[in-house]
Structure 1
C-alpha cells in the first residue's frame, strides 16, 4: 500500500467530519423584505476538553507537542465491561497493536512498530510503559482490570522523561474513577451467548461532607470457551475475571489532599497459543490438557499533595503483588502429527509455572502552580521489582523442558527527572525534559534435572548487571490561529537490559547471559486543528523511529545440546496517523483514526544465520490500522453505539515466514433508559472473526496460532438507587 491512498483516505475522513457537521452550522435564508429572523440563544455546542495526567501534571491534549489518544467511557462504552482489557484499549487507538499468548503476564503492546521482536524476555522487558493513576507497573501488571475506570491515556513516542524505563515506544496510563463526593449506587448485570455473564456494583459519596469521600466497585464476569479440544475433551478459550477497587480521598483544606486507592483482580484464562492453523474445523486444540493460566494482582497506592504558594509538593507511593500460575502442554497433537509425523504420549510433556512479582514505586516531585505561565515538574523516583519463578517441566523430546528451574530476578532503578514547558511568545511554546536513571539487576538460578539425556543433574548461577542512561525530549508547538497548531519533537527512548526469565541453559550447565538495552530516537511532526467553533477536531502526525539493539533469542550450534543466547537487531519504522472527533449534534458524536506504519529490519548481516534478511518487516506490526466509533441518543431515551477496528496482516517473526491474518472487529450496543434505569442489548465481535494474536512456523505447511474469542450477543440491565 502506497502513502498517497492512505493520505487521501485520511483527508476524506477528516472532510467527512466537516461535511456531517456543516449543515447544522449553515445560516437560515433571508426573509422577504430583508426582515431578520428572530434570534434565539442557541446553546453552545463544542467538544468537551480532553486532559492528560500521565505527564505528572494536568495538561490539555490539544496543547501537547505529541500524538495522544484519550479513551473515556462516555466515548467508548465498550471499554468499561471488556473482559479482555488489553485488546479493548488498542481498539480505540490507531497504530497501537495488541499481541500475546492469551495468558495473563504474557501479553504485550507495540506502538508505531516498536515492540518485542520475539517474546518479552522478562517482566520488565516491555517497550511500552504501563501505569495506573501514574504509578508504574511491569508487563505482568498490564492490563489492569478496567473496572470503574474514568479514562485511558495512550501516548505515542518515547516517554522516558517522565515514565522512566521501558517507555521506548510510548506509554499507557489507566486513570480510575475518583472519589469526588458524587453520590452513586448502581447495579449492572449482563447475560449472553457462549456463557457470558457479568455482574457489577458501584457506590460512592461523602463519608464526611467536604472532607472525606469514598468510592467502591466490584465485578465478576465470565465467558465459556468454544474451541474444542480433541485430546482432553471439552472446550478451551474460556475466561473469568473478578475485580474490586476502593478509593478514599481526604481534603481537610484547600492546600492538602490525600488519595488512597486499593484494588485486586483475579484473571483466569483457558487458552492455547499453539493450535494448528491448517487443521480442519479451525480453531481447535490438540493439547493433552485444558490449559489454565491465572493472575492475581493486588495494587495499592497513596498520593499526597500539598500546595505551597510557589509550588506543589507531591509524594506517590505504590505497592503491587502479582501472582501468576500456569499449566499447559506445548506438544499440540495436531501440530506434531503434521510437522513431525508422530504424537508424544499423552501427559509426557507438561509444564507447571509458578511466578510472582512484588513491585515498590516511590516518587517525590515538585510542580509549578497550575496557573503558572511556565509549567514545570521535577522529581526523584525509586522502582524495585522482586521476581521469582519456579518452572517444573517434564518432556519427552526437549532437554530444555525437563527439570525444575528456580529463577529469581531482583531489579532496582533510581531516577532523577525534570520537564518544562515555556511559552516563548503568545503563539510559540518550547518544551523539553531529561531523566537520568541507573538500573541494577541480580539473577539467581537453581536447576534440578530429571535425567533427560544431555542435561546436568544440578546447576546454579548468580550474576549481576548495572547500567546508567539518559532519556529526554525536545518539542515545539506554534499556534498559527486559535484553531490551528503545528508541533515537532525529537525524543530519545530506552528499554532496559536484563536477564531472561526462561533460564533454560541451566539444563545443560550453561549460564544465562544478559540481554542488552534497546534505545532509539523518534522524530515527529504534526498538525492539530479545530473546526466549526470547536465541534470538530483533527490531529495529523508523521513519525520516524530509529531503534538499535532490539532483542532476539539465538543459539550456539557449536554445542550439543545447543546453548541459547540473545542477539541484537536494529530496525526502524515510519508512518503517519490521523485522529478526529466530532460532535455532530447534541446527541450524535463520532470519533476515529487511521494509522499507517512501515517497518523494516536493518543491519542484518550479523544475524544472517537466523535467516533474517535486510528489509524484513518488524514482527507484529500491521501496515494499516483503523478505528471508528459512533454514539447516538435518539427518539425517547434510546441510545446506540457502534465500534469498528481494522488491523492489517502482521508478520509472525523476524524471518517473515508467514503473516497473521488481518481482521475486522465490530461491536454494537443498543439501549433504552436514562441515568436511573436502562436496558441494553449488545453484540461483541459481530462478524465472528477470530483475531490471531501470535503464531509460530514449524514448516512451510505447518503453522501454529493463538486466537481471540468469537461472537457474543447478550442483554444487560443497569439500575441506580
Structure 2
C-alpha cells in the first residue's frame, strides 16, 4: 500500500575530492531558446561508480537468502487497477479520489518498465504536461494545461514547483534520474496554498523508496545502441529493531544523437552518476526520523541549436571537444522528523542544497553563417554556483481523521552566482543573487454533510531579493556596476466543493489563485536589461470527477479547466546586439482532459489519457527582432490535442523456471501522440505532429528478468523544440531547433529480492 512517507529530506553531493567545485545550478533555467544553451555535466569517476555498484551487489548477495518482497513488487501492487491509491498531494496522506483537484500518479514499476530515465521523461507520460527544452540538464520550461512561462527569463521563473521528499526544488532538477522511485504525483492547477511560490501551473511531488525493516533490493543492467549503458542497484533493510537503511546507485551513459560534422563522431558522450543513502529511525511510539543524502554528477549534456531542416544525419560544424568542459553536479541533504500526537502529526523538514555547473553554448559555423553571413563559431561560457537552505514546520491531521487539515510555516534562503564570458563580444558579466522567503499556510476540508465537503486554503508569503552585478567590457576595460533590491508580499489560496456521488466516485469544483514571483533576468547583459520584471498571477477554475472503485476493473478521471494568467514572462532578445530584457503579457488557457485505467483481463491493463487545450496570448508584444507577438497567438510548444496510452501484459508461459518458480511473459507498449503546435510566441512556424512508440518484452522467473526494449520503435522524426530568429544575411526569419533522438534498441536484465 502507499503510505505517508513522501515528506522527507534530501541532500546530495558527489565530490571527486574537490568539495564545492561541482554541482549543477538546478535553479538556473534557460531563458530564450537561443540563450538557453546551458549544457552541463559533472565529472565522475567510473572506478568509483563500479566500486559503489560492487558494494551494493555484495550487500545484495549477503541479504539475498532472506525472504522478502521487493520494492518493485510492492509498487506494482500499489499501482494495480482497483487498488486504493493514497497520495500526499496536500502534504498529508489521503485517498487520491478525495483530493479536490486533478492528480496523476505514476508508480515506480511503471517508471521502470516504461524506461523513463529521468523526471523529465516521466512527466511527458502525463496527459496535459508539456516541456520546452533544448537538451541541457537544467533547461526545462514546464507547462501544465498550457500554463507556464512563454519564455523562461530566470532561474526562478518557474510555473511548476518540484518537490522531492518534501524539499522544494527548481524544475532544473528534472534531469535527475528516476533512481529508486516509489511514485511521482503530478498536481494540476495552482498549488500556491501548500507549495508556495512559483507553482501557478501545478506541482510535482516525487516520493523515493524509503528504508524498511524488511531486507529487500534489486540490481539492473542494460546495453543498447548508440553507446547506451545502464547499471543500477539498491539494497535496504534493518540495522536494529528501530534503525533501518537503504542505499541506491545508478550509472547511465549514451552517445549524443547529433554528430560533429568535422570528425563524424557524436558531439559528446552523456553520462550520469547518481546515488542516495537514507537512514530511518522509528521508536515505535509515534516518533520517527529520516536522514537522506543524495547526489548526481552529469557530463556531456548540451543545449543544441541547429538550423532547420536538420537532414537525415543531423550534425554541428564545430571544433571537436568544444563542449568537453560541460559539467554539472547537484547535492541535496535533508532531515525529516515526525511525531504523532493523539490529534495530529507534527513534521519538521530541514534541507540544504548545493549546485554547480559550467556550460558552453554555441552557434556552429553553419548557423552563424546563415544568421550573420560569416562562417565562424560563436561560443559563450556560463557558470553558476548555488546554495540553498530551507526549514519547514507543519502540523496535519492524522490519516483517519474525519476532518482533513494541515497548517505550517516554510522559510528559505538562497545564494546564487550566474556568470557569463562572451569573448566574441568582449563582455564578461558577473551576477550575484540572494533571495529569502517565508510563508505561512493552512488548508482544511470540512464535511458539510456525509457526501458534501468544503475545502478552503490560504497562504501568506513574503520574499526579498538582492542583486549585485558587474558588466565588464574587455575591449575598453570599463566596468559598470548594478545593484537592485526587491521585496514582495502576496496571498494565494483555493476554495473547493466536492460531492461523493457514490462510493469512490466524487465530483468537485475548485477555484484557485496562483502566483509567480517577479525578479531580474539571469541573462541581463547591461544595467538597462536588468530592470525588474513583474510578478505573474493566475486565477483558475476546475470542474471534474474521479471514480476509482476499490477492487474494480477501472478508474476514470476527467476535468474541464480555465486559467487566466496576468503578466506572464517573455524574454525580449535582440539578435543584432545579443541584449536580453523581459516583458510581460496576459495569457488564457481553457481545455478538458480525460485519464483512466482499465483491467481488460487478469493480466492485461490499458492506461490512456486525452487532453484538449486552447492556450493563447492576450496582449500585443512589439519590437522583438524575431517578429511581433500578437494578441491571439498560441502559447508556444503547447499542442491543441495530445494523448498518452500504454498496454501492459503479464501472463504465465511455463510452470518451470528459475528456482522452481513459474516463468512469466511481461510486455508493455507505450504511445505518445502530440498535435502540431507553434514553435515560438511569435508563431513564426509550427512543429509537426508526431507519434512515438516505446516497447518492452521480457521473461521473468524467481525474481529475475531478461528483456528486450526499444525507444522510439518506429524511428519517428520530430523536433525537441524550435524557434525563429531574424537572419541579418537575408533579413528574414530562420528556423532553429533540435531533433529528437531516433530509434534505439537494447537488452536488459534485472533481479529483485
Bin the TM-score by the shorter chain. Answer: 0.7 to 0.9
1:56 aligned residue (76, 87, 91): 91
The answer on 1:569 being equivalent to 2:585 is yes
For residue 335 of structure 1, report the CA deviation from its aligned partner. 2.0
The answer on 1:591 being equivalent to 2:615 is no
For residue 690 of structure 1, report the CA deviation from its aligned partner. 4.2
Change (3 A) 1:47 1:76: farther
Please give the alpha-carbon distance, in whole angstroms, between the structure 2 residues aligned to 1:232 and 1:125: 38
| Cα shift readout 1:248-274 (whole Å, capped 9, x = no counterpart) | 110012310101111111122444521
Residue in 1 that maps onto 2:141: 108
Paired residues of 1:518 and 1:549 also in contact (CA < 8 A): yes
Paired residues of 2:606 and 2:646 also in contact (CA < 8 A): yes
For residue 717 of structure 1, report the CA deviation from its aligned partner. 1.2
| Structure 1 stretch displaced more, 109-118 or 681-690 | 681-690
The answer on 1:578 being equivalent to 2:594 is yes
| Structure 1 stretch displaced more, 650-659 or 542-551 | 650-659
Please give the alpha-carbon distance, in whole angstroms, between the structure 2 residues aligned to 1:198 and 1:340: 42
Paired residues of 2:84 and 2:550 also in contact (CA < 8 A): no
Please give the alpha-carbon distance, in whole angstroms, between the structure 2 residues aligned to 1:461 and 1:255: 52
| Cα shift readout 1:374-396 (whole Å, capped 9, x = no counterpart) | 1101001001221112212211x
Q: TM-score, normalised by structure 2?
A: 0.83
Please give the alpha-carbon distance, in whole angstroms, between the structure 1 residues aligned to 2:81 and 2:739: 41
Q: TM-score, normalised by structure 1?
A: 0.87
List gaps (5 residues or longer) in structure 2: 1-79, 654-663, 727-731
The answer on 1:525 being equivalent to 2:543 is yes
Residue in 2 that maps onto 1:70: 105
Please give the alpha-carbon distance, in whole angstroms, between the structure 1 residues aligned to 2:702 and 2:122: 25
Change (3 A) 1:608 1:98: closer
Paired residues of 1:105 and 1:295 also in contact (CA < 8 A): no
Residue in 2 that maps onto 1:629: 646
The answer on 1:358 being equivalent to 2:387 is yes
Please give the alpha-carbon distance, in whole angstroms, between the structure 2 residues aligned to 1:197 and 1:282: 23
Please give the alpha-carbon distance, in whole angstroms, between the structure 1 residues aligned to 2:543 and 2:240: 49
| Structure 1 stretch displaced more, 660-669 or 372-381 | 660-669
For residue 604 of structure 1, report the CA deviation from its aligned partner. 2.1
The answer on 1:692 being equivalent to 2:719 is yes
The answer on 1:716 being equivalent to 2:748 is yes
Please give the alpha-carbon distance, in whole angstroms, between the structure 1 residues aligned to 2:441 and 2:263: 54
For residue 701 of structure 1, report the CA deviation from its aligned partner. 6.4
Residue in 1 that maps onto 2:519: 498
Please give the alpha-carbon distance, in whole angstroms, between the structure 2 residues aligned to 1:432 and 1:529: 23
| Cα shift readout 1:108-167 (whole Å, capped 9, x = no counterpart) | 21101111211x222211000111012101233334321000111001100000000100
Please give the alpha-carbon distance, in whole angstroms, between the structure 2 residues aligned to 1:606 and 1:189: 53
| Cα shift readout 1:271-306 (whole Å, capped 9, x = no counterpart) | 452101124435222334543533211111111011
Structure 2 counterpart SS, 1:337 = helix
Paired residues of 1:376 and 1:421 also in contact (CA < 8 A): yes
For residue 241 of structure 1, report the CA deviation from its aligned partner. 1.0
Residue in 1 that maps onto 2:485: 464
The answer on 1:612 being equivalent to 2:647 is no
Paired residues of 1:130 and 1:173 also in contact (CA < 8 A): yes
Change (3 A) 1:531 1:200: closer
The answer on 1:393 being equivalent to 2:422 is yes
Paired residues of 1:232 and 1:287 also in contact (CA < 8 A): no
Paired residues of 2:504 and 2:550 also in contact (CA < 8 A): no
List gaps (5 residues or longer) in structure 1: 1-44
Change (3 A) 1:192 1:463: same
Paired residues of 2:243 and 2:280 also in contact (CA < 8 A): yes
Aligned pair count?
A: 656
Change (3 A) 1:486 1:385: same
For residue 361 of structure 1, report the CA deviation from its aligned partner. 1.4
1:326 aligned residue (322, 341, 359): 359
Structure 2 counterpart SS, 1:334 = helix
For residue 238 of structure 1, report the CA deviation from its aligned partner. 3.9
Paired residues of 1:277 and 1:705 also in contact (CA < 8 A): yes
Please give the alpha-carbon distance, in whole angstroms, between the structure 2 residues aligned to 1:492 and 1:701: 38
Paired residues of 2:621 and 2:628 also in contact (CA < 8 A): no
Q: Which has the higher contact order (CA 8 A, sep 6+)?
A: 2
| Cα shift readout 1:412-467 (whole Å, capped 9, x = no counterpart) | 1100000101111111011110000001001110222221xxx7721111111000
Paired residues of 1:503 and 1:512 also in contact (CA < 8 A): yes
| Cα shift readout 1:666-709 (whole Å, capped 9, x = no counterpart) | 11111111352111111111122244232221355631112332
Structure 2 counterpart SS, 1:142 = helix
Change (3 A) 1:355 1:176: same
Please give the alpha-carbon distance, in whole angstroms, between the structure 1 residues aligned to 2:232 and 2:516: 38
The answer on 1:372 being equivalent to 2:405 is no
1:218 aligned residue (237, 246, 249): 249
Paired residues of 1:54 and 1:134 also in contact (CA < 8 A): no
Residue in 2 that maps onto 1:11: none
The answer on 1:297 being equivalent to 2:321 is no
Residue in 2 that maps onto 1:406: 430
Output the aligned Cα RMSD.
Answer: 2.2
Change (3 A) 1:237 1:275: farther
Residue in 1 that maps onto 2:442: 418
Change (3 A) 1:675 1:433: farther
Change (3 A) 1:675 1:240: farther
Residue in 1 that maps onto 2:72: none
Residue in 2 that maps onto 1:383: 412
1:47-446 equivalences in 2 (<5 Å): 47-78=82-113, 81-86=115-120, 88-118=121-151, 120-209=152-241, 211-231=242-262, 233-236=264-267, 238-289=269-320, 290-291=322-323, 293-329=326-362, 331-344=363-376, 346=377, 349-395=378-424, 399=425, 402-446=426-470
Larger Rg: 1
